[in-house]
Amino acid sequence: MKIWNWGLLFVFFVIAPVSAERWEADIQSLTETHTSDVVALRHWFHANPELGNREFNTAARIAEELRALGFDEVREGIAHTGVIGILRGSQPGPVVALRADMDALPVKEKTGLPFASTVTTLWEGVETGVMHACGHDAHMAILLGVARVLSDLRVEIPGTVMFIFQPAEEGPPGDEEGGAELMLKEGIFAGPDRPGAVFGLHVFPGPTGSIMYRPNGFMAASDYLEINVAGVQTHGSMPWHGVDPIASAAQVINSLQTVVSRQMDISKAPAVVTIGTIAGGNRGNIISDGVRMTGTIRTLDPDMQVEIHERIRDTATAAAATMGATADVLIDVGYPVTVNDPKLTQEMAGVLNWAANDAASVVPPIMGAEDFSYLAMEVPGLYFALGVFPEAGDDRVVGVNHSPYFYVNDRALPVGIRALSGLALNWLSARAPE
């Protein structure tokens, strides 16, 4: 997951519960039975993180767990290291999909947990730590907990459940393909097991066991931005003999701040344009011949996405030209908007509220991005967030996702199991043949 906008997460409205009584007791009882195993799995994944498209041991452990549960099919090596598990109920019915991501991040862990990662690897030529700093360890453990619950209930399941364990959500390395997009390209939703809906979750540092979601655009599209400003190199004492790309780049950055704040109708949807890196020159008394900037564009409306791209190109080019420089703008379209199907979200709101013990809430959109979006473009999807704050009185340092201090409270795991189990079973039951 790309970076979250935490300031928005605590404005919410409680959703009235909708009955899911047929499955509640069984799910609750079986979740309690399997929670200790799920916690142990989460700790194992956390202590043994692997980067995107390199989740070899992670995938092997997941496949082993699914086979031990008697899954009808376990397919490995999808999109490099992905795993698909197929659990067929004893009664006829449709197919529903549940997804968890598998990859960790190049982050050196600083939590001090007894099961903290000590794994290191080479990342872009530099040795670095590897950590589940975005909670994917919890996602995998929760989904394996759901696998246990639904395996125990398979005699009553009206249909089929597809379990998707997806690599490289944080992006594949180098020029490789990966993630949900590659899994779809390799056909996971093709054929007779094409699901009618897909569900997933993401942990975040919010109140433990709370669930947050929204219909329609829940998480933003994420596009890569690169701007190369070209000038004319000269001596730093005689700038009039050249064109200063650093001063020009400053004009470009300042002008880009007006794209969203002055050129877009942000009453329609929020948007963000950020320059995150800037590099140019190698000596204080030399005006260099170029500057490279990179950044990110976040949007929640497809039409605004196209317009913002156009305005960034026009604005950057014009700003550089006022200084005599040129600007070459590259925009690489990344993850689409993560859209929660409004009808599906309304139908399943009561299940989420039950699973969270009446602590499910609708929130404003989040400017982070998720490649669950590709799955939800193929079939109706519902993606939600699960709070994992420490217990009250715990004074540990806690960071947001992607921080070396990111922390998952194991007490939230049963809520995730109940939620995904309840969503799958209630969706299947509502569509089972008469």
- Considering the candidates 103, 109, 223, 244, report the single residue annotated as catalytic: 103
Q: How far apart are the C-alpha atoms of 190 and 185, rounded to whole Å?
A: 9
Q: Within 10 A of 347 (CB to CB), how many other CB atoms are there?
A: 18
- Considering the candidates 50, 65, 109, 169, report the single residue annotated as catalytic: 169
Concatenated DSSP letters for 108-172?
Answer: ---S--TT----EEEETTEEEE-B-TTSHHHHHHHHHHHHHHHHHTGGG-EEEEEEEEES-TT--
Nearest Cα neighbor of 251 from 316, 324, 159 is 316
Q: Tokens 């994420």 belong to which residue?
A: 222
Helix (H) or strand (E) holding 60: helix 56-68
**CB within 8 A of 103, min separation 6: which ones?**
50, 51, 52, 53, 55, 136, 167, 168, 169, 170
Q: How far apart are the C-alpha atoms of 203 and 109, rounded to whole Å?
A: 18
Residue type at 280 in one-letter notation: G
Contact assessment for residue 312 and residue 330, using Cβ atoms and an 8 Å cutoff: no
Contact assessment for residue 245 and residue 279, using Cβ atoms and an 8 Å cutoff: no
The conformation of residue 26, written as its DSSP 8-state character, comes to H
103 labelled catalytic: yes
Q: How far apart are the C-alpha atoms of 311 and 25, rounded to whole Å?
A: 55
Task: For CA atoms 197, 198, 199, 202, give the dihedral sign.
Answer: negative
Q: Residue 215 corresponds to which tokens in the numbers above? A: 């219909």
Contact assessment for residue 349 and residue 199, using Cβ atoms and an 8 Å cutoff: no
Q: Residue 143 corresponds to which tokens in the numbers above? A: 């989904």
Residue type at 158 in one-letter notation: P
Catalytic residues: 103, 169
